[in-house]
Structure 1
């Protein structure tokens, strides 16, 4: 509500002052004394104060009290946080999502919708955090380009990723947020791209048991300042300034049962080798031939080929899990799974990571939590903690400290 101070009293006083000045000037003229005008008094500061902006929190609280329901406060929303006034009108609450639920374009928020549509000759999602374009088949265009503020070397720095097509692509089959390019890698070997609220996942789907060893090229052009190359240990890696950002040497391979119900099927690996250099560098993926030939493996088999998360280290914009051996040593590619694992399985220790970006929350913290700067093997019992530095696939020995209690936040 805007408040305006009445100035009628001030105006009246000014008029009276003016009449007294006129009388004084007339008397002075009879004495032949030059009249000097009295300086105009400065305006009352209160009369020039900018209008008070509405307090949206108080307005939302009043509405929540009136209706007995939660009332959103859009001015406090972020990509992954929704702030509401609580019924009763006394408190507010912020809901934090592990992924984005809305994105900002200009000054307006828009609900995330990764549904793929064809527009201006390309395939694109309706609304996601990244600006993603996919090939609509044919031509020499890249399979995918993705631009966004979190793809650069530094947080908030814009960057762009491009993935070349393995050859001339067919027109994709679109289903919700997935594009399938049938037989893009040869007979019954499909290329599948799934768009998520924060990025994408590229998969190669082998629909029947191959008769020979497969070699599947994936040519990625990473953001400016990064490159594909070999680490100090000789492994194919994403590099920045010559230093390893992510190990790309081993990728997970999952059969149909494992994809449908993680933990119930078979999982193997594909090894990557690096060909070319500079702009011509490419990964060549070779799924384990023994795994593909195993009669217990249920087809189709899926190779997690690429997604943007290898460029982010601990800042990967997705929930994920890693193991200290076996098929799931790369947390970036484990983000393709529709499940998380923690504990011991198949002789390996598993740990899950859930990301909640609360950097812009408008609150004070209460409660207690444990912060750690390293990853370890699975603790003897479940523990919750905050990870503050990148985690590796080969964590140091010893359990992590357990949390001293849950963490909670209130406004």
Structure 2
């Protein structure tokens, strides 16, 4: 009986061993596979990846079709153009002055290649580099010039946006008031030679027609009025035209300390003056030469300006002139450019006066110039049988012999 039990238990043990052997053989390879996981070496990087490696491999790859840089008030925007930017998985870190961002499940495919690089896009940023790190990830590197830039990420319709702010603008050094500066502060540096360079300021404007900068009466040469120690007043042509003056004697209304003498023999064409209360009779200068007004009247049609010299003039022009001063009329000279002027004056007592003034070159090299002044005047009076009619013609020719020598011939009738 005992022998049978032993045989029975031996058969059952053999059957148990044969039944469990395939299961144990299958379990051994599984254990071998499980032991491979802790032995696999994962590449070490400075960026910590919060996602599992299995999830990164299984995620869909997003294509980045363009890279765009936009300047902003604070710095720079780096835009990765992609229609599904919200699906990009980004991890960030830094290495010294370099901001580093790794984007998994993405691939850079540009028309210019598979990488992007831009040096000094804005002040404070040395370089922006975007490359494919491997077949499933993109690396974005922003290099600061002196320190690590500040970068913010946000999604936009255009794609994934990196808002970059250089350290120079993101953190401003506190300013110390001038009153709190320590006494040991170094003195200010001397300005360089370039900073000492004078500034050239050019001002342009139109010359006042009533201002005459120079005169010839006091010195017989053209000298600025500010350099002449005598008192000289000049009535220019612009005043004569604006006031429609028809007699030389009317010019004294713009001069102080001078009065007009009554006409010689009742004539209205002859003119004399009182300078500072002293009589000048009827003597004056014309272009710097003595002019005796008693010989005949002078028309104002060819007068360019009238100069009034106040004070003794005998040293320059002889003792026959009054101690009060003298007057010098300067006639019009021929012009190098063509000039045409027609005028007319109409007044009371049947007064009318047409004038003509033409000038220009006679030769193409402008060495020979001409000028012609014509005037006709006809007027009545409040007195009977007192009428006036005159015709005036004054041709002039200038020959430019040399750059320093001119010959001018004038005629008046």
The answer to which structure, 1 or 2, has the higher relative contact order (CA under 8 A, 6+ apart) is: 1
Give the TM interval when normalised to the shorter protein. under 0.3
So what's the TM-score if we normalise by structure 1? 0.19
Return the index of the structure with the highest Cα Rg: 2
So what's the TM-score if we normalise by structure 2? 0.19
Structure with greater proportional strand content? 2
